[in-house]
């Protein structure tokens, strides 16, 4: 994969045709090894034909089941549904451990490698089931979702609020699995029309407001003790701009779905922190979100992963769509341009997963799980753009 030397204008950036003609078919071929179950975990552009191994995770299987379910809805003629069904079958038959449990890591034959059940994994199982149901109307997906939420409430509910990290009681506690539960609950509510999923979503938003977000700085903590105090040392002060943008997108859509004005206001605080402290505006490298800052905005990691860029794009889109934010529209064009110049190759749909501050790639191996971020951001961009174009 090569970096692009010339910037494209916003109007010339990839859109629906790129999703249909490049991203979806290219990755459909890369993630499935012919005749073998599940999805590969990594892709090496320099060794595309080498055996990617037999390790499979619930996380990647669920994320890619989502990706190709959504891809099918974007383009029913794409062949993506067969890939989504491939992933669903592996989740159901190899990753699932009964009564809402899913093994963390398995072999391609379904043999357990790490048999714990992990909350982060389960959030993506729920998310995948919502989108697989939208794509297929297969009631099996909703049955699995019902088993999973039952397991979460029965086995992982924590006396201090929220849910345990996994069935081993791992510490520190994290905001991240709860954030993705919120995303899954929104997706299930919209897929089914069942308001109980919004009730679950409201619980997560309340937890974030009361325990995860620092009222003094308007910033989102990452790691916590068992009673939701900041974890000791640097971990407790760590802030990830990408998650601030991701929560911005989620909270604004929570406001859209529920009318919760407090969620909108909370989104505004998180967005303000990320804009003020979490962005390289281009003075020392590509315009992009940094990987990490501290509680008061001091730079901790000047590297730039791809996924925070996709989450910034989603946050800009939500503010454009729901708040009419002109500054977010300006930023959107700049960040899309930067992403396709520095991270993502439009001609192949491959990407550099992380850059140094000056834009030098730190690795060439591609973690397949990040496809979830890229597909969703680009699908949101196309949805919002088309919606605005059709508005009177």
Tokens of residue 207, six digits: 């937890």
Residue 390, pLDDT above cutoff 80? no
How many helices (H) does the chain have, and how many strands (E)? Answer: 14, 17
Residue 14 pLDDT greater than 90, yes or no? no
| Delimiting residues of CATH 1.50.10.20 domain(s) in the chain | 25-164
Dist CA 54 CA 254 (whole Å): 39
Least confident of 3-17, 49-63, 281-295: 3-17
pLDDT of residue 392: 64
**What is the pLDDT averaged over residues 171-188?**
99
The percent of residues above 70 in pLDDT, for the chain, comes to 96
pLDDT of residue 1: 37
| pLDDT bracket for residue 6 (50, 70, 90) | very low
Asked, as a colleague might, if the bond just before 172 is cis with ω within 30 of 0, I would say yes
Q: What's the pLDDT band for 9 if we cut at 50, 70, 90?
A: very low
Q: How far apart are CA 334 and CA 281, in angstroms?
A: 10
pLDDT score recorded for residue 50: 82
Mean pLDDT of 86-92: 98
Sign, CA torsion 238/248/376/103: positive
Position 283 scores a pLDDT of 82
- Least confident residue range of 37-51, 190-204, 262-276, 324-338: 37-51
The pLDDT tens digits for 92-133 are 999 999 999 999 999 999 999 999 999 999 999 999 999 999
Rounded to whole angstroms, how far apart are CA atoms 35 and 287? Answer: 42
What contacts 24+ positions apart, CB below 8 Å, involve 332-339?
332/381, 333/10, 334/287, 335/287, 335/288, 335/309, 336/10, 336/13, 336/381, 337/7, 337/8, 337/9, 337/10, 337/13, 338/282, 338/286, 338/287, 338/288, 338/309, 339/288, 339/306, 339/309, 339/310, 339/313
Query: What's the gap between Cα 1 and its chain centre?
Result: 23
pLDDT band at 183 (very low <50, low <70, confident <90, very high): very high
Tell me: the pLDDT tens digits for 339-374?
A: 999 999 999 999 999 999 999 999 899 999 999 999
pLDDT over 50 at 3, yes or no? no
> pLDDT digits over 136-153, tens only?
999 999 999 999 999 999
> What mean pLDDT is predicted for residues 242-248?
99
Residues in the chain: 392
**Structure confidence at residue 387 (pLDDT):** 84
Domain with CATH 1.50.10.10 in the chain: 171-352
CATH class of 25-164: mainly alpha
Task: Kindly report the average pLDDT of the chain as a whole number.
Answer: 95
Question: CA neighbours within 13 Å on the CB side: how many for 138?
Answer: 18
Encoded tokens for 112: 């357990």
Residue 201, pLDDT score:
99
What dotted CATH number matches 171-352?
Answer: 1.50.10.10
8 A C-beta contact, residue 373 and residue 311: yes
Q: Is pLDDT at 4 greater than 50 in this prediction? A: no
User: Would you say residue 5 has pLDDT above 60?
Assistant: no
Is the pLDDT confidence value at 332 over 80? yes
pLDDT tier for residue 49 given thresholds of 50, 70 and 90: confident
Q: How far is CA 237 from CA 36, 220, 243, 275, in A?
A: 43, 9, 14, 18
CA 327 – CA 279 distance, rounded (Å): 14
- Coil, strand or helix at 47: helix
């Amino acid at each position: 994969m090569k970096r692009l030397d010339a910037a494209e204008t916003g109007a010339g950036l990839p859109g629906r045709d790129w999703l249909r003609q490049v991203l979806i078919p290219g990755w459909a071929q890369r993630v499935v090894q012919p005749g073998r179950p599940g999805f590969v975990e990594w892709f090496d552009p320099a060794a595309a034909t080498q055996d990617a191994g037999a390790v499979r995770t619930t996380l990647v299987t669920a994320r890619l089941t989502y990706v190709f379910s959504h891809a099918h809805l974007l383009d029913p003629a794409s062949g993506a549904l067969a890939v989504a069904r491939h992933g669903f079958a592996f989740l159901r038959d190899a990753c699932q451990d009964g009564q809402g449990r899913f093994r963390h890591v398995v072999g391609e034959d379904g043999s357990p490698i790490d048999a714990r059940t992990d909350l982060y994994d389960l959030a993506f199982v729920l998310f995948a089931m919502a989108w697989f149901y939208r794509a297929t109307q297969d009631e099996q997906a909703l049955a699995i979702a019902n088993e999973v939420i039952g397991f979460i409430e029965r086995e992982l509910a924590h006396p201090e609020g929220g849910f345990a990290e996994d069935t081993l009681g791992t510490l520190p506690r994290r905001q991240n699995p709860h954030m993705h539960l919120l995303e899954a609950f929104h997706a299930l509510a919209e897929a089914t029309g069942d308001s109980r999923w919004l009730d679950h979503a409201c619980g997560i938003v309340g937890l974030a407001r009361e325990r995860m977000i620092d009222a003094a700085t308007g910033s989102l903590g990452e790691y916590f003790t068992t009673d939701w105090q900041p974890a000791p040392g640097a971990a407790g002060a760590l802030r990830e701009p990408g998650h601030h943008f991701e929560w911005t997108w989620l909270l604004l859509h929570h406001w859209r779905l529920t009318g919760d004005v407090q969620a909108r206001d909370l989104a505004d605080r998180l967005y303000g922190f990320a804009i003020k402290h979490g962005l390289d505006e281009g003075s020392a490298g590509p315009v992009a979100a940094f990987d990490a800052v501290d509680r008061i905005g001091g730079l901790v990691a000047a590297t730039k992963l791809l996924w925070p860029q996709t989450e910034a794009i989603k946050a800009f889109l939500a503010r454009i769509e729901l708040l009419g934010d002109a500054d977010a529209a300006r930023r959107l064009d700049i960040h899309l341009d930067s992403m396709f110049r520095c991270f993502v190759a439009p001609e192949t749909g491959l990407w550099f997963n992380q850059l140094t501050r000056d834009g030098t790639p730190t690795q060439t191996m591609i973690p397949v799980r990040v496809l979830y971020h890229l597909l969703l951001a680009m699908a949101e961009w196309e949805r919002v753009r088309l919606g605005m174009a059709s508005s009177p």
